[in-house]
A and B are shown apart, each in its own frame.
Chain A
């Protein structure tokens, strides 16, 4: 019953935000070109790295492309859902409109995380999938059911971790009011997800697996995709994803206790 209600509300969200986004059709076209250029740029950068070396951190060029593809998909998801919604929290807090959200007979985290959608991110997701399929062909990966489910599980876990990270940072707005730039810091840290974790020095590797688990987000799904997976890593990722999601929920409820309605 409850789920059906939420689905219905989500359909309405989709309808309204798509309608407003399609007002700017040229924008969507420009965003498509941007996504393509951005992918070309990262592959170009990767090719510079591989100019004189055949492997980087144990990854060959064809294998490193998989990370690129998964990064592109996740980046598309970020641009479609997380970025438009979670940057809005800042606005809600500053202008005091979070009151209206809290008064609605619907879960506030659901409302705040899924209200908007930016269709231009879809194109990035599709680009990422195309590259992934291409990688599957050049790396001669044979697809089977177990392989696909494992891939799906790890990618879903990555999405959960990514969402929680964004949500954590955005929630801190309740205390600091203007942390719009904090998301920019997160974005620059996530940037390293384009490269295999092993290509960094030991200290950075620790940093990016313990403090900001970028490692889990792209490298583990790519390893699974290549078939080089270890079961404990997948289990670890699932655990991390569950802990992150659970804590993001806790953190939101905790933060709300400190919300003192600005400006109204």
Chain B
């Protein structure tokens, strides 16, 4: 009975958000295009033969950056921006009355957006292969499955971090600037612009303890078939989720007590 109810909730939420997202196809296509920075980076790496120093062949590097593009496409999170707008406009109040944590709504929004985004990402990958035919490869099913899971875990970590930041809206009203601050290490340390293996030693010694390399570098290496420590990757991802989730619950309960229903 209860599981049935949850299933219905999940299904309805997803359906509503998916039809909502389909309305904004063009926007989502533009979002997908705006994620092509890894390809520019690949161009710098290969045009200057920078990969010779780190034992990465051109083909492997281009696969790596393509996978980084994919992982990034399916782990983009913007919950803090939605939440900030809703809380400034007072839209949170009706959500709070409903017997459903509003973050489920945002979560469904993200999942629906990823489903909408999928065909666009495939088209971009198709063009990538036209220009780089030598890098075509087909990962085996097991790897595909594992990397999908690790991408999802990466998405979960980022969703939790951003939700925690979003909850700060209850105190400061404009939490998105904190998110922009947190985005900087994510951008430079996650492996989106350069594979973590190419980082200098003084960074590599501590970076694997932070969540950043597991956001893009680990799933991308896994998917592209580059060597990576699979068990460490998964355990660190799960560890970070277990660390962040209670923190989110805590800040959520504290925050809703602080809520002052702005705007309406």
Contacts and interface: CB of A to CB of B under 8 A. Distances in A.
Given A30-B181, A199-B48, A24 B27 contact: no
Interface in B22-75: 24, 26-27, 30-31, 33-37, 40, 43-44, 46-50, 52-54
Tell which of A26, A34, A42 has the most Cβ of chain B within 10 Å: A34
Nearest to A179: B30
A45 B33 contact: no
A188 interface: yes
A184 B48 CA distance: 28
Given A51-B198, A51-B200, A187 B34 contact: yes
A41 B37 contact: no
Contact of B198 (A31, A42, A48, A185): A48
B92 interface: no
A199 B27 CA distance: 31
Contact of A45 (B47, B173, B194): B194
B187 A56 contact: no
A44 B52 CA distance: 19
Nearest to B176: A27
Contact of A181 (B27, B44, B184, B188): B27
B184 A199 contact: no
Given A41-B184, A44-B188, A200 B44 contact: yes
B177 interface: yes
Contacts of B193: 45
B195 to A, nearest CB: 10
Contact of A30 (B26, B177, B199): B177
Interface in A162-199: 176, 178-182, 184-185, 187-188, 191-192, 195, 199
A178 B24 contact: yes
A188 B35 CA distance: 7
B47 A201 contact: yes
A105 B149 CA distance: 58
B178 interface: yes
Contacts of A178: 24, 26-27
B185 interface: yes
Interface size class of A (residues with CB under 8 A): 35 or more
Nearest to A181: B30
Tell which of B46, B50, B178 has the most Cβ of chain A within 10 Å: B50
B174 interface: yes
Interface in B180-230: 180-181, 184-185, 187-188, 193-194, 198-200, 203
Contacts of A34: 177, 180-181, 184
Nearest to A120: B177
Contact of A185 (B34, B174, B187): B34
A24 B180 CA distance: 15
A28 to B, nearest CB: 9
B30 A185 contact: yes
B172 interface: yes
Given A49-B50, A51-B53, A184 B34 contact: yes
B206 to A, nearest CB: 14
B262 to A, nearest CB: 14
12 contacts: A24-B173, A30-B178, A37-B184, A51-B200, A52-B50, A176-B26, A178-B26, A179-B30, A184-B30, A187-B34, A192-B40, A195-B44
Interface of B: 24, 26-27, 30-31, 33-37, 40, 43-44, 46-50, 52-54, 172-174, 177-178, 180-181, 184-185, 187-188, 193-194, 198-200, 203
Interface of A: 24, 26-27, 30-31, 33-34, 37-38, 41-42, 44-45, 47-49, 51-53, 56-57, 176, 178-182, 184-185, 187-188, 191-192, 195, 199-201, 204
